[in-house]
Structure 1
Amino acid sequence: MSIFVAIVGGSGAGKTTVAKEIVGHFKEKAICLNMDNYYKDLEDGMDPREVNFDSPSAFDFELFFKHLQTLKNGEDIEVPTYSFVTYRRNSSQTVHISPAELVVVEGILVLHDEKIRKLFDLSIYVDEDADERLIRRIERDTKERGRSVDSIISQYRKFVAPAFRSFIEPQKYKCDIILPRGGENKNGLSMIMGALEKMMNHGEKKIF
């Protein structure tokens, strides 16, 4: 039976870095699933600048839950690939994922849905200052998604910051561990690795 770990936090908090650290530590024993691939396709004619991508309504929670449950049952899944250029899934390309001893799932709203929350054995909230999260978001979206700084800041004020307060930050109080500074917090990461090793070696599903 796989151990499921949720990693949540605001956009730019460092969730991906923490997930990579965990998967890198456990190597072939671990896999990572990114919730970003479960965004819904943008409808024709919709301006992405007017869409709140940090809201629960932007995600396909039904498929997300189905895939997590499938992995939990020891079966393979085909993960969609989502483009932040076209704002749609690539219908001809999926990523094949097989169950592993450790399943790491990261995203801004992984724990928003109660029935999904119940699937996890350990949950981690990556905590980072708002200014640092915004700086990282600007760096990422200008380099990787070709967006202007003005559009990023406008979206942040209109959608990202309010959604963080309403939907993302409340998950912090449902998590087993709060990890300040994300991947930079080596002591915190070391403690998490130790806890996961204990869970995997002794079959203990709840240690907090």
Structure 2
Amino acid sequence: MKLFVDTDSDTRLARRVPRDINERGRDLEQVLNQYMNFVKPAFEEFCSPTKKFADVIIPRGADNHVAIDLIVHHIWDILHGNNRLDGDKLLVAMPEHI
């Protein structure tokens, strides 16, 4: 299963700024410079194009608990052999004890 965790650029930057300042000792100007000149262009060139190949796109990233729960249950089913195909649709049996 190919997943793409889709988070908007404002959220990515908002997470990066405090991390780079607190954990990497950079100042705000350094963080913004690196983001604009390297991180954002690299994301647009290498990461963003892979979205079209994803089986599942998870909007809002880790904040999307519904999508994460569905994926966890799907993987659980795969590991326990509870999946069955019905035409083009994958039917997922939801485990009761998770």
Q: TM-score by structure 2 length?
A: 0.78
In proportion to residue count, which structure has more helix? 2
Q: CA deviation at 1:203?
A: 7.8
In structure 1, the residue matched to 2:26 is 147
Instruction: Summarize the alignment of residues 88-107 of structure 1 with structure 2, pairs less than 5 Å apart.
Output: none
Q: Distance in 1 between matches of 2:66 and 2:43?
A: 26
User: Which structure 1 residue ranges, 5 or more long, are not aligned?
Assistant: 1-121
In structure 1, the residue matched to 2:80 is 201
Please give the secondary structure, in 1, of the residue aligned with 2:2.
strand
Q: Distance in 2 between matches of 1:181 and 1:126?
A: 8
Kindly provide the amino acid, as one letter, of the partner of residue 164 in structure 1.
F
Give the % identical residues: 37
User: Which structure 2 residue ranges, 5 or more long, are not aligned?
Assistant: 84-89, 91-98
In structure 1, the residue matched to 2:44 is 165
Which residue of 180, 183, 198 corresponds with 2:59? 180
**Size of the alignment, in residue pairs?**
84
- 1:11-69 deviation per Cα after TM superposition (whole angstroms, max 9, x unaligned): xxxxxxxxxxxxxxxxxxxxxxxxxxxxxxxxxxxxxxxxxxxxxxxxxxxxxxxxxxx
- 1:85-135 deviation per Cα after TM superposition (whole angstroms, max 9, x unaligned): xxxxxxxxxxxxxxxxxxxxxxxxxxxxxxxxxxxxx22111111111101
Instruction: Summarize the alignment of residues 59-78 of structure 1 with structure 2, pairs less than 5 Å apart.
Output: none
Q: Distance in 2 between matches of 1:142 and 1:154?
A: 13
User: Which segments of structure 1 move beyond 6 Å, counting only runs of 4 or more?
Assistant: none
Q: Specify the structure having the higher radius of gyration (Cα).
A: 2
Q: Distance in 2 between matches of 1:203 and 1:138?
A: 43
Q: Distance in 1 between matches of 2:78 and 2:52?
A: 22
